[in-house]
Structure 1
Amino acid sequence: MTTDPTARHYDREFVRTFFTSPTAVDDDDSAKMLRSAAELRGVEAPDVWVPDNEDATAPSMRDQGVENVVEVVSEHGADFPGEIHPRVVWHREDPATRHAGFQQMHAMADPERGAVEHLDGFVIPEVGDVDDWKKADEFLTVVETDHGLDEGSLSMSVIVESGEAELAMGDLREEMGKPSNNLERLFLLVDGEVDYTKDMRAMTPTGELPEWPELRHNTSRGASAAGLIAVDGPFDDIRDVEGYRDRMTANRAKGMTGIWSLTPGQVVEANTEPLPPEAGYWLLDDGESETELREADGRWVYDGDDLGLDDTGDGYVLHADGREHDLGPDELRAELLARTSYVPSMADIVDSMAEFEAAKAAGRGAIAMTRGATLEIDGVPVDIETDRMWDEATYQAAKTPIDLFQDVYEHRPDQHDALADRYGREVVERATELGE
């Protein structure tokens, strides 16, 4: 009899950051990159730190990398605020590489060496079909048995880098929970777009990686169906902060909160970007893009060039999409309402959810939430107002960013001060109490 495949078998429901660092470098102190990562704290520290003994470490340095992981994690693991999941070598088509990965896990997990008490699991790259996932799981079971560890105490995350692995995600619901495996130990499904591109023999005219939105969607869907956590792959252009943010925004619309981080700077962005903003703001679609409006003297001002507005005294002329539109006051408000959207702050979300909770406690199943603003285009002010019906489904959908916040607050006490500085202690306190 199988167990519920969507039941989570670990504490975290969200992972924002998956940060890799080489286990050994060619230097007098070959472990210096590990030591630097182990000392990260607060918003610079990832939710999941991955000492990377595969792609990030030269093959000739990997034996030393194992020793460095044991040394650094034994010394610093107790104080590291996130989870620690080393990546070992593996390949679906190479038994020798799989055996080498087993040996690496076996050495790192030896209780007599002092690191395993701080290790949360291992990351397995280059997996293939679901039978290959079971091989990795079985090796982990052997490691636990050999070292007297509780069965299932080490989690397993995989990197989806092939078409086989992508298809295997569809088998997890049926396979997890069978008595013949311990796949309940699965934690993260991580995209590896570079090797995936190689496996798919994909090409682009510029040589850049394809976007692979389908892979990200499938990984998010596979994680949701199996009760796991989806993480996007690395964003290589570390100077393109806006591109990194745009990628995370697109991912969150697919249900994928986590992303690979290559630098401490990317960790900060990925730790903070999924959380609601400190202050709410309005967006206006001017025909070219959604433009963030600037707040000034109680008005939300449009500073772009693609919309224009004239007040004729008895109506308005809206310059939009290369045309002039003669509109009455009600027609103008309707047009601007169709073009605007509001991005709520943490305080806005907390207020709305608290209001609905109070209404539900009073026996009301649905209420209307009203939000208004004064927009200003070319110096012309226009008042708009919108109503949104809140019912239980709306409440549950709006609760996702609060669930994320509560997960962060519970598991990352080193970030409490930063959250209080961002939102204010009163808002933080109210947010932690929602849904209780």
Structure 2
Amino acid sequence: MSYSQHYERSFVRTFFTSPTAVEGKDDSAAMLRRAAQLRGMEAPDVWVPDNEDATAPSMRDEGAENIIDVVSEHGADVPGEIHPRVVWHRDSPETRFQGFQHMLEIADPDRGALEHLDGFVIPEVGDIDDWKKADEFLTIVEREHGLEERRLSMSVIVESGQAELALADLRDEIGKPTNNLERLFLLVDGEVDYTKDMRAITSTGGLPPWPELRHNTSRAASANGLIAVDGPYDDIRDVDGYHERMTDNRMKGMLGIWSLTPGQVIEANESPLPPATGQWLLDVGDRNVELVDTGGRYACEGDDLELTTIGEGTYEVDTGDGVRKLDADELHDTLVELTEYVPSLSDIVDSMEQFEAAKEAGEGAIAMERSATLEIGDVTVSITSDRMWDEATYQAAKTPIDLFQDVYEHRPDQRETLQERYGESVVERAMNVG
């Protein structure tokens, strides 16, 4: 492809929407104003003043004015990017025209918001021709206001089968001289409307998980140099479920998620970052059990794994799927298979620095050793495992470092928190590795 990214962020962890106008309030823009003043881990990477679903239809004209007023006043100090969501619908010319009118108003250089504005979010898109319509409207907005082409980014919300199929068309369309789709920034899933469009039914009335949609969106983002963001997780009290969703997403390459509250913003900002300390896990049945650091040894508390000595060098182990008798070597190999290590930021930096030094010395691959002493019941076992690092392993391990460096560079309001979490020396090394 001949085009290149026009935006600075390579990672977006948080996509936070705020109503633009609330009926019945003395200040209809109060929620918008509060959101604009969030800082640190409470502040999202992308703030979305939401003039669509979060705002009543009767309040949207006032909402557009509120965006202009609040972004003009507070936009210079907002630590993340600002991308208002306007109305749009693949089947409604009237709705598309209203969204176009609001974009014209909000992006007017004489109104004061434009200098702090990064782009717009377009919901309810259809097939690729509909994406081109939105792009054309943005091009017209730019020309009406004398702006450089693609000054405004365009992010879309995938909320229909048509939009999901359009993801596969992007590689053929982006970069053509007949459109400005290079302005694309985020591909955001909207599972609620997607469920409605697919006419899906669940026994509880809840949303299906739609792993295929999230995979397809992440794949399209990877193939086109864009950023994938998951949709809203509306059970805002279910912190564990939110974390589980984000963990599953990260294994698909989707590091960003919609946040509905400042609390969710904090969780989503912190979750993708490497941990401050390493953690040993024991794979028991269908779940991972965290081993407790007891001063250099790692203990399995509880009865998830039963291990007892039945004779000199002979052990009996029960992982929940049957009892096995093992000698010392078999026990070591079994525990190596059952344990996993979650590396800290410092661990990742150490490994990368070792590989970089080896590569400078002319080595193409090296073995990285990891060892630990485990305490399970009355048995203490030392385990050692080796992992071969080559260039491909190095590049894969580099992703969390790339994320950390992106956050540190573009979110100076979070630097103090990062230094407190990891320590200044680790942060400095993480910013220089890779």
2:23 matches 1:43: no
* Partners of 1:391 and 1:226 in 2: CA distance: 27
SS in structure 1 at match of 2:165: helix
Question: Is the CA contact (8 Å cut-off) linking 1:17 and 1:47 kept in structure 2?
Answer: yes
Render the CA deviation track for 1:59-117: whole Å, top value 9, x for unaligned: 01101100100000000000100000000000000000000000010000011100011
* Partners of 2:319 and 2:121 in 1: CA distance: 52
Question: Is the CA contact (8 Å cut-off) linking 2:285 and 2:321 kept in structure 1?
Answer: no
Partner of 1:395: 394
Supply the AA of the counterpart residue of 2:242: Y
Render the CA deviation track for 1:184-221: whole Å, top value 9, x for unaligned: 00000000000000000000011110000000000000
Partner of 1:8: 5
Supply the AA of the counterpart residue of 2:195: T
> What are the within-5 Å matches in structure 2 for residues 1-400 of structure 1?
3-4=1-2, 7-26=4-23, 27-314=25-312, 315-400=314-399
Q: CA deviation at 1:313?
A: 3.7
Q: Comparing 281-290 with 339-348, which one deviates more in the overlay?
A: 281-290
* Partners of 2:73 and 2:13 in 1: CA distance: 25
Q: CA deviation at 1:287?
A: 1.6
* Partners of 1:119 and 1:84 in 2: CA distance: 5
SS in structure 2 at match of 1:399: helix
Supply the AA of the counterpart residue of 1:12: R
Supply the AA of the counterpart residue of 2:171: R
Gaps of 5+ in 2: none
SS in structure 1 at match of 2:325: strand
Supply the AA of the counterpart residue of 1:260: W
Q: Comparing 62-71 with 286-295, which one deviates more in the overlay?
A: 286-295
Supply the AA of the counterpart residue of 1:46: P
> RMSD across aligned C-alpha pairs, in angstroms?
0.8
Q: CA deviation at 1:288?
A: 3.8
Q: CA deviation at 1:323?
A: 2.4
State how many pairs are aligned. 432
* Partners of 1:201 and 1:372 in 2: CA distance: 52
Render the CA deviation track for 1:124-149: whole Å, top value 9, x for unaligned: 00000000000000000000000111
* Partners of 2:237 and 2:298 in 1: CA distance: 31
Q: CA deviation at 1:289?
A: 1.3
Q: Comparing 321-330 with 211-220, which one deviates more in the overlay?
A: 321-330
Question: Is the CA contact (8 Å cut-off) linking 1:13 and 1:229 kept in structure 2?
Answer: yes
Question: Is the CA contact (8 Å cut-off) linking 1:288 and 1:306 kept in structure 2?
Answer: no
**Percent identity between the two aligned chains:** 71
Q: CA deviation at 1:9?
A: 2.5
Q: CA deviation at 1:319?
A: 1.8
* Partners of 2:196 and 2:53 in 1: CA distance: 15
Supply the AA of the counterpart residue of 2:10: E
* Partners of 2:64 and 2:323 in 1: CA distance: 68
* Partners of 2:9 and 2:191 in 1: CA distance: 25
* Partners of 1:200 and 1:47 in 2: CA distance: 30
Normalised TM-score (structure 2): 0.98
Render the CA deviation track for 1:365-406: whole Å, top value 9, x for unaligned: 110000000111113111110000000000000000000001
Q: CA deviation at 1:297?
A: 2.2
Q: Comparing 65-74 with 7-16, which one deviates more in the overlay?
A: 7-16
Runs of 4+ in 1 over 6 A off after TM superposition: none
* Partners of 1:141 and 1:297 in 2: CA distance: 61
* Partners of 2:302 and 2:396 in 1: CA distance: 32
Supply the AA of the counterpart residue of 1:81: P
Q: CA deviation at 1:322?
A: 4.4
* Partners of 1:183 and 1:320 in 2: CA distance: 53
Supply the AA of the counterpart residue of 2:249: N
Normalised TM-score (structure 1): 0.98
SS in structure 2 at match of 1:86: coil
SS in structure 1 at match of 2:281: strand
Question: Is the CA contact (8 Å cut-off) linking 1:280 and 1:348 kept in structure 2?
Answer: yes
Question: Is the CA contact (8 Å cut-off) linking 1:193 and 1:209 kept in structure 2?
Answer: yes
SS in structure 2 at match of 1:305: coil
* Partners of 1:322 and 1:111 in 2: CA distance: 67
